[in-house]
Structure 1
Protein backbone atom coordinates (compact mmCIF):
# COMPACT_ATOMS: atom_id res chain seq x y z
CA UNK A 1 0.00 0.00 0.00
CA UNK A 2 2.79 2.43 0.91
CA UNK A 3 4.71 1.56 -2.27
CA UNK A 4 1.57 2.14 -4.33
CA UNK A 5 1.13 5.66 -2.88
CA UNK A 6 4.80 6.46 -3.50
CA UNK A 7 4.47 5.28 -7.08
CA UNK A 8 1.40 7.44 -7.63
CA UNK A 9 3.18 10.47 -6.17
CA UNK A 10 6.26 9.86 -8.33
CA UNK A 11 4.10 9.47 -11.44
CA UNK A 12 2.18 12.68 -10.59
CA UNK A 13 5.43 14.61 -10.05
CA UNK A 14 6.85 13.27 -13.32
CA UNK A 15 3.70 14.24 -15.23
CA UNK A 16 3.74 17.71 -13.67
CA UNK A 17 7.40 18.16 -14.64
CA UNK A 18 6.60 17.10 -18.21
CA UNK A 19 3.66 19.51 -18.38
CA UNK A 20 5.72 22.45 -17.09
CA UNK A 21 8.67 21.54 -19.31
CA UNK A 22 6.41 21.14 -22.32
CA UNK A 23 4.71 24.49 -21.76
CA UNK A 24 8.13 26.17 -21.58
CA UNK A 25 8.92 24.83 -25.05
CA UNK A 26 5.58 25.59 -26.73
CA UNK A 27 5.58 29.07 -28.31
CA UNK A 28 2.64 31.27 -27.30
CA UNK A 29 3.45 33.93 -29.83
CA UNK A 30 5.52 36.96 -30.59
CA UNK A 31 5.97 39.83 -28.13
CA UNK A 32 7.48 43.28 -28.28
CA UNK A 33 10.03 43.65 -25.49
CA UNK A 34 11.00 47.01 -24.01
CA UNK A 35 14.11 46.73 -21.89
CA UNK A 36 16.61 49.04 -20.23
CA UNK A 37 19.32 49.57 -22.84
CA UNK A 38 22.14 49.36 -20.27
CA UNK A 39 21.02 46.63 -17.91
CA UNK A 40 18.77 44.52 -20.14
CA UNK A 41 16.03 44.60 -17.46
CA UNK A 42 12.66 43.91 -19.08
CA UNK A 43 10.34 46.84 -18.49
CA UNK A 44 7.43 45.72 -20.67
CA UNK A 45 6.31 42.88 -22.90
CA UNK A 46 3.35 43.36 -25.21
CA UNK A 47 1.87 40.67 -27.46
CA UNK A 48 2.11 41.41 -31.18
CA UNK A 49 1.34 39.59 -34.39
CA UNK A 50 2.52 39.96 -37.95
CA UNK A 51 1.47 43.40 -39.29
CA UNK A 52 0.88 44.85 -35.79
CA UNK A 53 1.59 48.59 -35.68
CA UNK A 54 4.04 49.84 -33.05
CA UNK A 55 4.34 53.63 -32.75
CA UNK A 56 6.57 56.00 -30.83
CA UNK A 57 5.05 59.44 -30.30
CA UNK A 58 6.87 62.45 -28.88
CA UNK A 59 7.16 66.23 -29.00
CA UNK A 60 10.09 67.61 -30.98
CA UNK A 61 12.42 69.24 -28.47
CA UNK A 62 13.09 72.36 -30.56
CA UNK A 63 9.93 72.76 -32.62
CA UNK A 64 7.60 71.68 -29.77
CA UNK A 65 5.43 69.84 -32.29
CA UNK A 66 4.21 66.25 -32.43
CA UNK A 67 6.27 63.53 -34.17
CA UNK A 68 5.06 59.97 -34.74
CA UNK A 69 7.37 57.17 -35.85
CA UNK A 70 5.40 54.11 -36.92
CA UNK A 71 6.76 50.59 -37.31
CA UNK A 72 5.06 47.44 -38.54
CA UNK A 73 5.94 43.96 -37.26
CA UNK A 74 7.18 42.01 -40.28
CA UNK A 75 9.20 38.80 -40.35
CA UNK A 76 10.52 39.23 -36.81
CA UNK A 77 11.65 42.82 -37.36
CA UNK A 78 10.31 46.33 -36.90
CA UNK A 79 9.88 47.89 -40.33
CA UNK A 80 9.53 51.67 -40.29
CA UNK A 81 6.42 52.33 -42.36
CA UNK A 82 5.39 55.89 -41.57
CA UNK A 83 6.61 59.12 -40.07
CA UNK A 84 4.37 62.08 -39.27
CA UNK A 85 5.58 65.48 -38.16
CA UNK A 86 3.93 68.88 -37.95
CA UNK A 87 6.91 71.10 -38.75
CA UNK A 88 10.46 70.83 -40.03
CA UNK A 89 13.21 70.93 -37.45
CA UNK A 90 16.51 69.39 -36.38
CA UNK A 91 16.61 65.65 -37.07
CA UNK A 92 13.50 65.62 -39.23
CA UNK A 93 13.70 64.60 -42.89
CA UNK A 94 14.12 67.88 -44.78
CA UNK A 95 14.81 66.18 -48.12
CA UNK A 96 12.30 63.34 -47.94
CA UNK A 97 9.43 63.09 -50.37
CA UNK A 98 6.52 64.02 -48.11
CA UNK A 99 2.86 64.77 -48.57
CA UNK A 100 0.44 66.70 -46.37
CA UNK A 101 -2.24 64.76 -44.52
CA UNK A 102 -4.54 66.34 -41.92
CA UNK A 103 -2.10 69.19 -41.32
CA UNK A 104 0.96 66.94 -40.88
CA UNK A 105 3.84 66.03 -43.14
CA UNK A 106 3.83 62.29 -43.82
CA UNK A 107 6.25 59.97 -45.55
CA UNK A 108 7.14 56.29 -45.79
CA UNK A 109 10.77 55.89 -44.71
CA UNK A 110 12.87 52.91 -45.68
CA UNK A 111 14.34 50.53 -43.15
CA UNK A 112 13.73 47.47 -41.05
CA UNK A 113 15.45 46.74 -37.75
CA UNK A 114 15.84 43.87 -35.32
CA UNK A 115 16.07 46.43 -32.53
CA UNK A 116 15.21 50.09 -32.05
CA UNK A 117 16.77 52.29 -29.37
CA UNK A 118 14.90 55.25 -27.88
CA UNK A 119 16.03 57.83 -25.32
CA UNK A 120 12.77 58.90 -23.64
CA UNK A 121 12.78 62.43 -22.32
CA UNK A 122 10.64 64.46 -19.95
CA UNK A 123 10.30 67.36 -22.40
CA UNK A 124 9.58 65.10 -25.38
CA UNK A 125 7.15 62.94 -23.37
CA UNK A 126 7.78 59.74 -25.37
CA UNK A 127 4.81 57.38 -25.60
CA UNK A 128 4.67 53.87 -27.04
CA UNK A 129 1.49 52.69 -28.79
CA UNK A 130 0.99 48.92 -29.28
CA UNK A 131 -2.27 47.21 -30.25
CA UNK A 132 -4.50 50.00 -28.95
CA UNK A 133 -2.57 50.38 -25.67
CA UNK A 134 -0.48 53.44 -24.79
CA UNK A 135 2.55 53.26 -22.50
CA UNK A 136 4.46 56.20 -21.02
CA UNK A 137 8.07 55.40 -21.95
CA UNK A 138 9.43 58.17 -19.71
CA UNK A 139 7.76 56.79 -16.58
CA UNK A 140 8.42 53.17 -17.60
CA UNK A 141 12.16 53.75 -18.04
CA UNK A 142 12.73 56.62 -15.61
CA UNK A 143 13.93 58.56 -18.70
CA UNK A 144 16.72 56.03 -19.41
CA UNK A 145 17.47 54.65 -22.88
CA UNK A 146 15.41 51.63 -23.90
CA UNK A 147 15.81 48.89 -26.48
CA UNK A 148 12.72 47.64 -28.34
CA UNK A 149 12.87 44.25 -30.03
CA UNK A 150 10.71 41.26 -30.88
CA UNK A 151 11.00 37.77 -29.47
CA UNK A 152 8.93 34.61 -29.27
CA UNK A 153 7.39 33.85 -25.89
CA UNK A 154 6.58 30.37 -24.56
CA UNK A 155 3.24 29.43 -23.01
CA UNK A 156 4.97 29.29 -19.60
CA UNK A 157 6.48 32.78 -20.04
CA UNK A 158 3.08 34.14 -21.04
CA UNK A 159 1.45 32.54 -17.99
CA UNK A 160 4.11 33.93 -15.66
CA UNK A 161 3.81 37.46 -17.02
Structure 2
Protein backbone atom coordinates (compact mmCIF):
# COMPACT_ATOMS: atom_id res chain seq x y z
CA UNK A 1 0.00 0.00 0.00
CA UNK A 2 1.37 3.41 -1.00
CA UNK A 3 0.71 6.88 0.37
CA UNK A 4 0.12 9.96 -1.76
CA UNK A 5 3.88 10.34 -2.38
CA UNK A 6 4.17 6.83 -3.72
CA UNK A 7 6.09 5.50 -0.69
CA UNK A 8 4.93 2.13 0.53
CA UNK A 9 5.14 0.79 4.07
CA UNK A 10 8.53 -0.88 3.44
CA UNK A 11 9.86 2.39 2.02
CA UNK A 12 8.74 4.32 5.11
CA UNK A 13 10.58 1.82 7.33
CA UNK A 14 13.73 2.31 5.24
CA UNK A 15 13.45 6.10 5.51
CA UNK A 16 12.98 5.85 9.30
CA UNK A 17 15.92 3.45 9.63
CA UNK A 18 18.10 5.72 7.50
CA UNK A 19 17.06 8.76 9.59
CA UNK A 20 17.80 6.90 12.82
CA UNK A 21 21.24 5.80 11.59
CA UNK A 22 22.02 9.32 10.38
CA UNK A 23 20.99 10.80 13.76
CA UNK A 24 23.08 8.19 15.59
CA UNK A 25 26.16 8.98 13.48
CA UNK A 26 25.63 12.70 14.14
CA UNK A 27 25.43 12.08 17.91
CA UNK A 28 28.60 9.96 17.87
CA UNK A 29 30.51 12.61 15.94
CA UNK A 30 29.25 15.30 18.30
CA UNK A 31 30.32 13.23 21.33
CA UNK A 32 33.82 12.86 19.84
CA UNK A 33 34.25 16.58 19.15
CA UNK A 34 36.53 18.17 21.77
CA UNK A 35 34.90 21.35 23.02
CA UNK A 36 35.37 21.42 26.80
CA UNK A 37 38.54 22.72 28.51
CA UNK A 38 39.83 20.56 31.34
CA UNK A 39 42.82 20.74 33.64
CA UNK A 40 44.42 17.31 33.36
CA UNK A 41 47.26 15.51 35.06
CA UNK A 42 48.89 12.70 33.09
CA UNK A 43 51.73 10.31 33.72
CA UNK A 44 54.49 11.82 31.53
CA UNK A 45 55.87 8.43 30.46
CA UNK A 46 52.67 6.62 29.54
CA UNK A 47 50.26 9.51 28.93
CA UNK A 48 47.79 7.78 31.25
CA UNK A 49 45.13 10.13 32.59
CA UNK A 50 45.51 10.47 36.38
CA UNK A 51 43.10 13.33 37.15
CA UNK A 52 40.93 15.83 35.33
CA UNK A 53 38.39 18.52 36.03
CA UNK A 54 36.58 21.04 33.83
CA UNK A 55 38.06 24.54 33.92
CA UNK A 56 37.17 28.00 32.73
CA UNK A 57 39.50 30.76 31.71
CA UNK A 58 40.82 32.55 34.81
CA UNK A 59 40.48 29.57 37.16
CA UNK A 60 43.44 29.33 39.54
CA UNK A 61 45.19 26.55 41.43
CA UNK A 62 48.38 26.05 43.40
CA UNK A 63 51.12 23.50 43.81
CA UNK A 64 52.62 23.27 47.30
CA UNK A 65 55.83 21.45 48.05
CA UNK A 66 58.43 21.30 50.80
CA UNK A 67 61.81 22.77 49.88
CA UNK A 68 64.54 20.13 50.17
CA UNK A 69 67.08 22.45 51.83
CA UNK A 70 64.97 24.81 53.93
CA UNK A 71 62.31 22.18 54.67
CA UNK A 72 59.64 24.86 54.54
CA UNK A 73 56.60 25.08 52.25
CA UNK A 74 56.72 26.75 48.85
CA UNK A 75 53.47 27.46 46.99
CA UNK A 76 53.33 28.34 43.30
CA UNK A 77 50.05 29.82 42.07
CA UNK A 78 48.82 29.36 38.49
CA UNK A 79 45.90 30.64 36.46
CA UNK A 80 44.36 29.13 33.31
CA UNK A 81 44.57 31.52 30.35
CA UNK A 82 43.31 29.82 27.20
CA UNK A 83 45.43 26.73 26.69
CA UNK A 84 48.30 28.04 28.81
CA UNK A 85 49.09 28.08 32.50
CA UNK A 86 50.32 31.37 33.93
CA UNK A 87 52.33 31.42 37.14
CA UNK A 88 51.20 34.64 38.79
CA UNK A 89 52.52 34.35 42.36
CA UNK A 90 54.82 32.34 44.62
CA UNK A 91 55.11 32.23 48.38
CA UNK A 92 57.83 30.82 50.61
CA UNK A 93 59.10 31.20 54.16
CA UNK A 94 62.88 31.11 53.77
CA UNK A 95 64.84 33.03 51.15
CA UNK A 96 68.22 31.50 50.49
CA UNK A 97 69.99 28.61 48.79
CA UNK A 98 67.91 26.95 46.12
CA UNK A 99 65.43 29.79 45.71
CA UNK A 100 65.28 31.85 42.54
CA UNK A 101 67.17 35.06 43.26
CA UNK A 102 66.23 37.01 40.12
CA UNK A 103 62.93 38.69 39.47
CA UNK A 104 61.59 39.27 35.99
CA UNK A 105 60.72 42.85 35.02
CA UNK A 106 57.63 44.01 36.91
CA UNK A 107 57.79 41.29 39.57
CA UNK A 108 58.00 42.31 43.21
CA UNK A 109 59.31 40.52 46.28
CA UNK A 110 57.36 41.43 49.42
CA UNK A 111 57.50 40.13 52.99
CA UNK A 112 54.18 39.90 54.80
CA UNK A 113 54.15 38.53 58.34
CA UNK A 114 57.32 36.51 57.81
CA UNK A 115 56.27 34.98 54.47
CA UNK A 116 57.89 36.08 51.21
CA UNK A 117 55.73 36.58 48.12
CA UNK A 118 56.83 37.09 44.56
CA UNK A 119 53.95 39.05 43.05
CA UNK A 120 53.05 40.43 39.62
CA UNK A 121 54.45 37.34 37.95
CA UNK A 122 53.36 36.47 34.44
CA UNK A 123 55.31 33.34 33.52
CA UNK A 124 53.66 31.33 30.74
CA UNK A 125 53.75 27.54 30.57
CA UNK A 126 52.11 25.33 27.94
CA UNK A 127 52.36 22.59 30.58
CA UNK A 128 54.00 21.88 33.91
CA UNK A 129 56.19 18.81 34.22
CA UNK A 130 57.41 17.69 37.59
CA UNK A 131 58.65 14.63 39.41
CA UNK A 132 56.57 13.67 42.42
CA UNK A 133 58.88 13.93 45.43
CA UNK A 134 60.07 10.67 46.93
CA UNK A 135 61.35 11.81 50.31
CA UNK A 136 59.96 15.06 51.71
CA UNK A 137 58.70 17.29 48.88
CA UNK A 138 55.09 16.13 49.35
CA UNK A 139 53.86 17.86 46.17
CA UNK A 140 50.21 18.78 46.66
CA UNK A 141 47.69 20.21 44.21
CA UNK A 142 45.62 22.99 45.80
CA UNK A 143 42.38 23.21 43.85
CA UNK A 144 39.13 24.89 44.86
CA UNK A 145 39.63 24.35 48.58
CA UNK A 146 40.87 20.77 48.18
CA UNK A 147 44.37 19.49 48.86
CA UNK A 148 45.28 16.58 46.58
CA UNK A 149 48.66 14.96 47.38
CA UNK A 150 50.16 14.07 43.99
CA UNK A 151 51.54 10.81 45.43
CA UNK A 152 47.90 9.63 45.58
CA UNK A 153 47.64 10.03 41.79
CA UNK A 154 50.94 8.39 40.76
CA UNK A 155 53.88 6.80 42.51
CA UNK A 156 56.54 9.03 44.12
CA UNK A 157 59.45 9.54 41.74
CA UNK A 158 57.28 9.42 38.63
CA UNK A 159 57.01 12.33 36.22
CA UNK A 160 53.65 13.98 35.68
CA UNK A 161 52.40 16.62 33.26
CA UNK A 162 49.77 19.20 34.16
CA UNK A 163 48.09 21.04 31.29
CA UNK A 164 44.85 22.30 29.81
CA UNK A 165 43.33 20.01 27.18
CA UNK A 166 40.24 20.17 25.03
CA UNK A 167 38.10 17.20 26.07
CA UNK A 168 35.10 15.58 24.43
CA UNK A 169 32.22 13.66 25.99
CA UNK A 170 33.92 10.42 24.90
CA UNK A 171 37.19 11.56 26.55
CA UNK A 172 35.27 12.23 29.77
CA UNK A 173 33.80 8.74 29.68
CA UNK A 174 37.36 7.41 29.48
CA UNK A 175 37.56 7.84 33.21
CA UNK A 176 37.51 11.15 35.00
CA UNK A 177 38.93 10.97 38.50
CA UNK A 178 38.08 14.45 39.66
Report the TM-score when normalising by structure 1.
Answer: 0.85
| 1:13-92 equivalences in 2 (<5 Å) | 13-25=21-33, 27=35, 29-92=36-99
Name the CA distance, whole Å, in 2 between partners of 1:47 and 1:133: 15
CA distance 1:156–1:81, change in 2 (3 Å): same
1:114 and 2:126 correspond: yes
CA distance 1:10–1:79, change in 2 (3 Å): same
Q: Which residue of 1 aligns with 2:159?
A: 145
Which has the greater radius of gyration?
A: 2
- Cα deviations by residue, 1:30-60 (Å, 9 ceiling, x for unpaired): 1111111112111111211111112101111
- The answer for unaligned runs of 5 or more in structure 2 is 1-8
Q: Which residue of 1 aligns with 2:143?
A: 130
Residue 31 of structure 2: SS of its match in structure 1?
A: helix
Contact 1:31/1:152 (<8 A) preserved: yes
Report the TM-score when normalising by structure 2.
Answer: 0.78
Name the CA distance, whole Å, in 2 between partners of 1:79 and 1:132: 19
Name the CA distance, whole Å, in 1 between partners of 2:172 and 2:43: 20
- The answer for unaligned runs of 5 or more in structure 1 is none
- Point out the more displaced range, 83-92 or 6-15: 6-15
